Amino acid sequence: MSDPIRPAATVILTRPGANGPQVLMGQRGAGAVFMPSKVVFPGGGVDPADHAAPRAGYLTETCTRRLGLHVPAGAPGADVVVAAALRELAEETGLTVPAPALGALRFVFRAITPPGRTRRFDARFLMADAAALPGDQDDLTAASGELSHLRWITLP
């Protein structure tokens, strides 16, 4: 019997850079069960606390509707996915998206870990403009350490 597919959420932070658009990414630890040593966007599984503290007002109606398409019964709603994404971003990078601003997050895609992996996730990827973040976008000193080598990467 295979392990259940766990809901997850990820934030892709973007900003303009001197040589083109940049995204914030970090490296998972070598001992991580899921995707060890891989460079990833900040994100992770939906926790019970996310269900208790849904975050409304960040997605447009269109993004909310799209986020809920073709998901299994009992999948967390859009506001719970947003709560998980914002919590993971804050934990893994120390950066926070300010109080709800409609359209501050945009649902861009969904990815389900293929069968045969140690753990499987049904992840929703949300995008945010780093210009909306309070404080210094380069100050990652409040990061938890779950992701190492946090850095802004210029897209080719």
Which stretches of the chain are DSSP H helices? 48-52, 61-67, 78-93
Q: How confident is residue 101, by pLDDT bands cut at 50, 70 and 90?
A: confident
Whether 71 has a pLDDT exceeding 80, the answer reads yes
How far is Cα 1 from Cα 84, in angstroms, rounded to an integer? 27
> 10-35 burial by CB neighbour count: b if 16+ within 10 A, else e?
bbbbbbeeeeeebbbbbbbeeebebb
Task: Read off the pTM.
Answer: 0.93
Residue 20: pLDDT band (50, 70, 90) is: very high
Mean pLDDT of the chain: 93
pLDDT, tens digit (0-9, with 9 covering 90-100), for 116-148: 888 899 999 999 999 989 999 999 999 998 899
Q: What is the mean pLDDT of residues 64-85?
A: 95
Q: What is the mean pLDDT of residues 23-49?
A: 93
Q: What's the whole-number mean pLDDT along residues 30-45?
A: 91
| Confidence band for 2, pLDDT divided at 50, 70 and 90 | low
* Arithmetic mean of pLDDT, 34-61: 94
DSSP E strands: which ranges in 2-156? 5-17, 20-28, 39-40, 43-45, 106-112, 120-129, 147-154
CB atoms inside a 10 Å sphere around CB 153: 12
